[in-house]
Each structure stands twice: as structure tokens, then as C-alpha cells.
Structure 1
Amino acid sequence: MIKYFRLLLLPFSVLYGIVVLIRNKLYDTGVFKQTGFDLPVICVGNLVVGGSGKSPVTEYLVQLLSDRKIAILSRGYGRKTKGYILANQMATAETIGDEPMQFYRKFPNVTVAVCEDRVLGINRLCKEHDVILLDDAFQHRRLKPGFSVLLFEYQKLLSTQFLLPAGNLREPFSGYQRADVLLVTKAPEMITEAQKSLCRSKFDSANVPELFFSYLVYHELVHLTSLENKPWSSILPTTTVFLLTGIANPQPLLLHLRQYTNLISHYDYPDHYQYNRNNIQELIKAYHEDPSDSKIIITTEKDAQRLLDAVLKELLLNLPVFYLPVKIAVQEEDKVTFDQKILDYVSSTTRDY
């Protein structure tokens, strides 16, 4: 049914693609003005709607550039506010968005801000920072980043993709040519040369930036409020997992969980979903009615930011609610070159005082 519905939408995708191509051409030829900056500005983006692992990659860059004074600037998708907001102790997922909230809680030495207008946001941040990391700004063409890391989720890269609204592409696939490096995310940890070659075949060999590969690394579970760690060895084949997700693609997480137990009740919501009291009460009711001796509630680190809302947090009090931190690891044969490209760009970009 969905397949036929997408076919009906294809004419609209053609129109959408024409509009985006014209817009990009006007920026590429200088008819539409772009604003650049004299300090390092690194954009982490993708071509599709939904998650390609931008948050873990942004966090990877924070770690890589930890000796610099860093600011992360995001649109703050899903927030209930507008304009420029600097994250502080009063910030919540509702005021700045779940991903910026995650960055703010995770990196106390990094400035986190949100603004729909990235140029305005950078102007507010640039004087007091050495590097600006832009979370999801590849299509924000009014801004000219100094360096762009474009992400491609492994499974999506290998499948046929269509432009909006028939598919998930925000712009034609050829937009990858604007990037400085391409990073395949969520690839198999033990990826083969044949699998890499298949990924490379998706790009025009004459106009492709360097392509790197990465995979997800899941860490120990962390309690939602006490922050105590729980080892994976505590998840047994007889453990019932109540999985709560509001992310674009929970499949890699499900695959990881199934290494430990197949007793998974998945409460699956759309990306950035704002949980309400009824959603959480439904989950709690199912948890209490389950007869298992061993049971746990697991969510993602991004979802945890929304569950820390005062009302929801109170409902979940005294329950074993844990979130799962995830990082990316760049393939060993790619890591040195990938890291050095970022470091060389940052060190070679000097500010004009």
C-alpha cells in the first residue's frame, strides 16, 4: 500500500527536486548570497529526513577538538520556542530540543545554543569560541561552512531513495558533491571490501569527496535519574525489555538488544516525539502487569532528555528506567586520515582580528 502511495507522490517529488536544484544553483553561482566566517565552522549534515547519526558524530568531533573552545549550534528541532537561545541550567528538551539538551548535559565545557537562523547564531557565538559545530545545517545554504561532513546511513545508502514527499531525500543525491568528506554511519563493524565497494559505487567516481566508514558502539546502560551504570551481563535471555523509542530508525538498537534477549516489548514513536502522561502510564501499566522476575525499561539517550520532564520523571520514579549511550567509531583504517582532515582544517583556519 505504501509503495503505491509513494508512486502517486512521485510527480510532486519531481517538482520539489526542480525547485531545490534551482535554489542550489542560485547559491552555487552567487546569485543568492552566502555568509562565511573567519573561524572554523564545521557542518555535520545529511541528505535525508531522519537520523543518520548526526548527534554521535557531533559528539565525536567534540572529543576530537577537546582542546578548543567549542560551541554547538543547532536548530533545536521539536522545541516549543523560537529564536536564539543559549542553553543554561533552566533549559529543557521543550525549550531547546532533545539533542541540544543531550549535548548540554554531556559536555559541561561546551557552549550549546539553538537558532533557526544559523548565520545569526554564529554571529552571537563567534567572538568567544574557537570552533563552531553545526548540527544538521547542510541544507541551510545561506550559511557557507568552512568544512562539511556529510553522513549516509549504511542501509539507506544501499537502497533506492526518492526525494520528498515520495521518499526521504531533502535534496537530489548529487548534493553530496558540496561536502568535504563523506562518512558512512551504522555500517557493519567487520565491514568487507566488497561492502565498501558497493557503497562507493553509489557515487560518481569523478566527483566524490573522500569516503570513510564508521559503526555504532553501545556502552553500558545508565539509570535515568541516579546515573548508575548497569552492565549488559545483567540482561539475560529471560529478561523482559520494555523498549521506548522516539527516534528515526530504532532497528540497530533492536538488533543490539536481541543479542541479549528476544523478550522485547517495543513502544515505538516518531522521531522527536513529545511523550505525554498517557504514553508513559501505558508503559508503566504494561511493566507492572508483566509477570517476569527480571524486567527493565530501556530508552535511548535522546529520548531520556524528554523523559526528564518534571511530570514524566515523577511518573517513572522508582522504576528501573535506563538509557543507552551510543557512540560512533571510525573504522581503524580510516580513523587517522579522517581525524587529520578535521584537525588540519581547524588549525589552518585562522581568525582575522
Structure 2
Amino acid sequence: DVATSSSKLRGRAVIDHAVPTATARALAVLAPSAVRIGDGFQASGLRNREQVGGLTPRAAVEWASEQGSALALSWAESFLTAAESVGQQVASHFGKKLLNSSAPLDEEGLYFDFVHLVCRFSQEESQAQEAPEEFEEFSGYIPANAKDLFNQELTLEKAKAACSAALECEAFTFQAGAKPEEPRMVYFKAQWDLAGTGWRSFRRSPRAKEADAHAAHGDNCFEEGAFCVRKKPFYYWRSHAAVLFLHGPESGDFQGGDFFYAPSFRSPPELRVHVQPAPGRAVTFRAGAENIHGVEKVSSGTRCTLNHWLTPNAFQAAHKSELEDARKLLLRYKPKAEEL
């Protein structure tokens, strides 16, 4: 059942009308103006010819208050209500209860770990700033039989640039223990393989990944060889996730940007299971290796979603009280807006 968007075995489901269509569309209208570029991402927010912005619930209320209008505060209230509704539906779907900061620590259920409004802004080829190519780091060296290209004494950053510029370069080996800013002999290869210890090897990210807005990944584990490893420094405490789509391609706001499941990190695109965004539709899934997923490139326009991650761990739940705190803040600001 890996080739389905809903599966009890894998713990994934599509929930249509998770929030009313009109509510989702209304959230999509102001979302691009409200998000903070780079929030939750690298500072510039630039990723694969897209710029990404994010906004947490409390930040949404603060943004709305800065606008000084009842409309903006109503939008922030809809943001909080939508997040709470999706969280409750996710918990219910998996036979759990949605908990908050007032719940006894011994009560079983799910807490919000993080709630994040995310907008992806496509950028024209001529206007986009080219982000440096990504490399994956491994412990070990690439053996001599892996198609040598050339050797050169370079710093780590210059080695990455040299490999990116060489069409045939697949990876390179750099001396372990050397400081990145110190030139060292670098061995460039046209073929990937790994052996031994005492060296650092860097592999260019697969071309298929470069085409995606968010490459195939797990929400509580990271790729290590053929496995998805659930441990530090990743968000290993997360157990469930959900994505609420605020609009779809039919709105004319964007093209592309399909959510997808993949059998593995490096599965070819033809094995993906796609879920097309639609206003009010949500996907929910267990946040583990059984649900590797990603987002395909937004080819034009701006795509916004409301993302949720949940955990049974009260001590790790970063947003355990986020929605409660945001609502209290909203109540402080609403009377001021009504006086205007």
C-alpha cells in the first residue's frame, strides 16, 4: 500500500474539508503578506529558485496587531481556529486526544510541537539568486577505483565550488580534522563509493532533489545509508504531522507544488504518490520512515500551507501552550482594533 495517499498500515490519510473552503481561501489571501522571509529556514529563505517565509501562531497575532485593522485580527483568529481544528482531527484520526499545557503530565495524547504557516514564492530564472549547491557529508574516503578526475589543494568551500563547476564531478574526499578554511589536497571523483575512516567525503545532492521545493525526507528521522535514523540532532520526539492546504492550482495563485509520498529518500519521481493541494484539504501521517514525503517545485506563483507537527512528549513539545498564548494576546488586541 505504499502507492496510496491513504493507508492504515502506513498511518496516512487525506482529510477533505478539514476546514471550510472559504476559511482556507481567506487565510491564503493575507498569508503571503504576513509571513516572515526565512522564518524557520535559512536567513535569506532562498531554496532552489524559491523564497520561503514562515509564521508561528503568536507571530501571526503580532503581525495582525501591527496592521491595526479588525480584518487582520479576524484573519489571525481564523489562523488559530484552523490550527486547533486540524490538530483535533489529527489526534482523533489516530485514536488520540489533543492536549495542551493544562493537561496532567500522565495523561496520554498529543501536544503541538510546532505550528507553522509556510509560503513558497517562486522566482523567475532571471531574478532568482542562485543558492550554493548542497553537498551531503560522510565519514570515510572514496577509494581509488572510483573514477579519479583530478586532485587539487583547496579549502573546503572552494572544493565544493570546483565540484559544482565540473559536470562529471560526483563527489570528493577532504582530509578529516583539517579546518575548512585551510587548503588541503582534495580528491575529486566521477563516481560515488565510500570506504575506510579518517577522512571526510562530500557527495553532490542528487539532481532529482534539486528539482523539488522540499526534498524527500522524514519528519522525525534523517537519512543515514539505507535507513531513516531517529535520534539527535533531528526532531526524534515528533510522532505525527499534518499539512493543511490553503488553496490549489485552480485558484490561479500558483502552479506545481504537489505534496508527495515516496518509498524512500532516493526513489525516482515515477514512484511517488501525489496529493494535489486544494483549499481546506489536509494530509496527515505518522512522522516516521514509513512516510517519506516532500513538496515538488512551485513553478510559478505563491503556495501557502499551514503545517503541524505533534508529539506525545510534554517535555519536548515546543508549542504546547503556543495557541493558548496566542489567543490571550489576541484578546488584548481586539478591543483596541474595535475602537478604531
- By the TM > 0.5 criterion, same fold? no
Between Structure 1 and Structure 2, the one with more strand by share is 2
* Length-normalised TM-score, structure 2: 0.25
The structure having more radius of gyration, on CA atoms, is: 2
* Length-normalised TM-score, structure 1: 0.24
Larger relative contact order (C-alpha < 8 A, sep ≥ 6)? 2
